[in-house]
Amino acid sequence: MQGFRKIVLGVSALLISLSARADYAWNFPEPVTPMALDTLHVHNKFMLISMAIFFVVLAIMIYSIFAHRKSKNFKPVADKAPSTATEIFWTLIPFVILLLIDFVIMGIPAYHSVVMMEDTRNEAKMVIKITGSQWRWQYEYLDGDAKGIKFVSNLSTPKVQTDKGYEGVKDEQYLLEVDNRLVLPVGEKVRILMTATDVLHNWWVPQFGSSRVAVPGFIRETWVQVDKAGTYRGQCKELCGKGHGYMPIVVDAVPMEEYKAWAVAKNAEMAKAAAGSDKEWTKDELVAEGKVVYEKNCAVCHQASGAGLPPAFPALTGSKITTSPIFGADGKYLKDGHLDRVLNGVRVMPAWKALLNDTEIAAVITYERNGLGNSVGDVLQPSQVKAARQ
C-alpha cells in the first residue's frame, strides 16, 4: 500500500507541474490550410492510439510482475513449456490486433492526408512558381490578376545583427523577415510549382502543413489554400549550404480585393523598373543603387567589403574580371568578362539574369567597378544590359 501511495503522489506532482506550464507552446502552430488541419488530426489520432497501446501493454506488465512476485511463492512455469500451437496462437493474436490498427484505424486517415497533399487537380484557381536558390526564394505568378509578376525575396534582417559577437537589440522577427513577401488571396486554392537552381531547398511554412523539396532540374508540385488572413513565416527546410539559415519565407494572406490591388501596384512597380532601363543614369546614381543591390544579393558570398572568402568565394576587390573591360572591340560583351559572369554565372557563382532586372545588373556592376576598393572609372548603363540580353 505504501508503494501505491508513492506512485499516486508522484503522478499528481507530475500533472501539477504540467498544468503549470500550460501557457508554454506545446502544440503545433495553428493550422490555417485544410492540409495542415488534416495532418494535425492524423497526428492527434495516432498519439491517442499509441498511448492506448502503451497503457494496455504497461498495465499487463505491471499486473504480471505484481501478481507473480516471489514473496507470494509464485512457481515459475519454465519446466512446463507451452505447446508450439499455443505459442503461435499467442503470437498471432497481437499481430492481428496491431495489423488492424495499422492498416485500418491509422491507415485510412493517413492515406486520406497523403492523397490530399498530392492532389493539385481541380479547383486550383491560380498557379505560382517558387524557385529556391542559394540563398533566396524567387516567386513568379503564372496566371490570373498577377500574371507576369516575378520577384526575388531576400532576408532583410540587418547584416550586423547576424555578426558574431553582436550584442545589441535584435529585430522581433530576427531571421524571419524578407524584403518582398509572397502575397496570396485568402480561401483560394493555389497550385505551386517548385524547383531550384543549384541544390535542394524546401519551401516550408509550418502553418500551411505543406513542405516539398525543390529539386534542381525538376518541377515538383504542391498546393496551399490559406483560409485565414494573416502573415505566416517559414524557412528553407533542406540543409542547403552556408546560408541555409538565411532564406526565410514570409507570406501575406489577404482578402481577394486587397490581393487584386496589390497585383496592380506590383505590376506598376515592375513597369517603372523596366522604364528605368531606357533612361541614362549618372555614375553616382548607379553606384548608390548598386550598393543596395550588392548588399542584398552578393555580400553573403563576396562579403560587404568585396574581400570575399577565398578560396570558396573570390575577392571582387582587385579581381581581374571585375577590373577588365566588359565589352570587346566588336561591341559585344566579352565571354568570361564581368557582365558575362554576372548574367550567366559559372560553377557556384549564380546566374543573375533571371533574378535581377537591367537596372539592378548595371548598377551592381558599376558599383563593383567603382566601389569595393576598385576605381575602374567606367559606367555600365541599364540600356547596355538590356541590349546584351538579346
Using CB under 6 A, list all residues that contact ligand HEC: 134, 297-298, 300-302, 313-314, 316, 319-322, 338, 341-342, 346-350, 352, 364, 368
Q: How far is the CB of 105 from Cu ion (least distance, A)?
A: 37
- Report DSSP state, residue 164: T
- Report DSSP state, residue 41: H
Q: Which stretch binds Cu ion (CB under 5 A): 1-9, 110-118, 229-237, 252-260?
A: 229-237
Choosing from 240, 263, 300, 372, the residue that interacts with Cu ion (CB under 5 A) is: 240
Residue 189 contact among ligand HEC, Cu ion, none, beta carbon within 5 to 8 Å by kind: none
If the CB atoms of residues 144 and 243 are measured against ligand HEC, the closer one turns out to be 243
Q: How far is the CB of 354 from ligand HEC (least distance, A)?
A: 12
Label each residue of 269-309 as H, E or C: HHHHHHHHCCCCCCHHHHHHHHHHHHHHHCHHHHCCCCCCE
Residue 162 · residue 98 · CB < 8 Å: no
Phi first, then psi, for residue 349 (nearest 5°) are -70, 115
Residue 8 belongs to what H/E stretch? Answer: helix 2-20
Q: How far is the CB of 312 from ligand HEC (least distance, A)?
A: 6
**Site residues (CB under 5 A) for Cu ion, limited to 187-216:** 201
Residue bearing cell 526564394: 137
Residue 313 contact among Cu ion, ligand HEC, none, beta carbon within 5 to 8 Å by kind: ligand HEC
Q: How far is the CB of 177 from ligand HEC (least distance, A)?
A: 19
| 382 vs 69: CA distance, rounded Å | 88
If the CB atoms of residues 106 and 354 are measured against Cu ion, the closer one turns out to be 354
Residue 368 contact among Cu ion, ligand HEC, none, beta carbon within 5 to 8 Å by kind: ligand HEC
Residue 341 · residue 321 · CB < 8 Å: yes
Residue 342 contact among Cu ion, ligand HEC, none, beta carbon within 5 to 8 Å by kind: ligand HEC
Using N-to-C axis directions, what is the helix angle for 256-276 and 358-370, rounded to 10°?
Answer: 50
If the CB atoms of residues 191 and 341 are measured against ligand HEC, the closer one turns out to be 341
Q: How far is the CB of 234 from Cu ion (least distance, A)?
A: 11
| 226 vs 218: CA distance, rounded Å | 25
| 236 sits near Cu ion (criterion: CB under 5 A) | yes
Q: How far is the CB of 97 from ligand HEC (least distance, A)?
A: 54
If the CB atoms of residues 192 and 363 are measured against Cu ion, the closer one turns out to be 192
If the CB atoms of residues 235 and 374 are measured against Cu ion, the closer one turns out to be 235
Q: How far is the CB of 368 from ligand HEC (least distance, A)?
A: 6
CB atoms within 10 A of CB 177: 17
If the CB atoms of residues 255 and 318 are measured against ligand HEC, the closer one turns out to be 318
Using N-to-C axis directions, what is the helix angle for 283-297 and 358-370, rounded to 10°?
Answer: 100
The residues, ordered by sequence, that sit 6+ positions from 146 with a Cβ below 8 Å of its Cβ are: 126, 183, 259, 262, 263, 266, 267
Residue ranges in contact with Cu ion by CB under 5 A? 201, 236, 240
